Amino acid sequence: MKLRRAEDQVACKFLGANIRHFNFSDCVYRLAVLPPSRKVSFLYASESALFGSLNTAEALLIQEVRAQIETHLPPQVQVVSPMALGNHVDHQLVRLAAEALGKPLWYYADYPYAGQQGEHLAAMNADGWEVRVFLISAQGLIAWQDASAAYSSQTSTFWEDEEQMRLAIERYCSQSGGVRLWQNPRQYQLLRIS
């Protein structure tokens, strides 16, 4: 976790973003006590578990994450959440915590998983989700690539090397027209009324 947080700090510097880490462990480190034996076990002990359903033992953690996010939000803020397209359990957890805030949300397509989810994104568009495209300048694209390169511990998970990663991001950005954010207008209307 120390390595990942150090990578976060470097990546955020490239993007000019502020960073705030909370005291929650990544999914691969989270444990549960299993009744009736009281045996301690990892919640996500396999690769398939990392991309499966969120463990029901995480219900309280969702609320704890929501409370931490809420504590640090200014009154007038646009909240952007991962869609959890790759079905990674940590992305699912953050999405559920963001949705529990009760605020209008924008969603981003989790990259690089988004590149394999064209059908899902097309279905959202057909279902009336609002899409906004934010153009990325040449300088912005380089910052995105440099920030992604800061996560050297993950590069080999998705790409053969850094050069391939940079080309993939450039291709994705070009195909998408920039960075896209989605909002469910029905959710927004419901939240505004209540």
pLDDT at 2: 87
Give the pLDDT mean for 76-92. Answer: 91
pTM, to two decimals: 0.86
pLDDT at 191: 41
Query: Tokens 């850094």 belong to which residue?
Result: 162
Q: What tokens appear for 155 in the block? A: 């590069």
The per-residue pLDDT for range 121-168, each reduced to its tens digit, is 788 877 888 899 999 999 999 999 999 999 998 888 889 999 999 999
What's the number of CA atoms in the CB half-sphere (13 Å) around residue 32?
A: 16
List phi, psi (to 5°) of 18: -80, 150
Query: Tokens 């397509």 belong to which residue?
Result: 109
Give the pLDDT mean for 5-34. Answer: 90
Residue extents of the structural domains in the chain: 2-193
The rounded percent of the chain whose pLDDT value lies above 70 is 95
Q: Report the C-alpha dihedral over residues 180, 181, 182, 188, rounded to 10 degrees.
A: -160
Q: Class assignment of domain 2-193?
A: alpha beta
The per-residue pLDDT for range 166-177, each reduced to its tens digit, is 999 999 999 888
Average of per-residue pLDDT values in the chain: 87
Q: Is a pLDDT exceeding 50 seen at residue 193? A: no
Would you list the DSSP string of 121-173? Answer: HHHHHHTT-EEEEE---HHHHHHHHHHHHT-HHHHHHH-SSHHHHHHHHHHHH
pLDDT at 77: 87
pLDDT at 126: 79
For the chain, give the number of residues: 194
Give the pLDDT mean for 83-107. Answer: 92
pLDDT at 7: 92
Q: Is a pLDDT exceeding 60 seen at residue 50? A: yes
The closest alpha carbon to 191, from 134, 125, 64, 106, belongs to 106
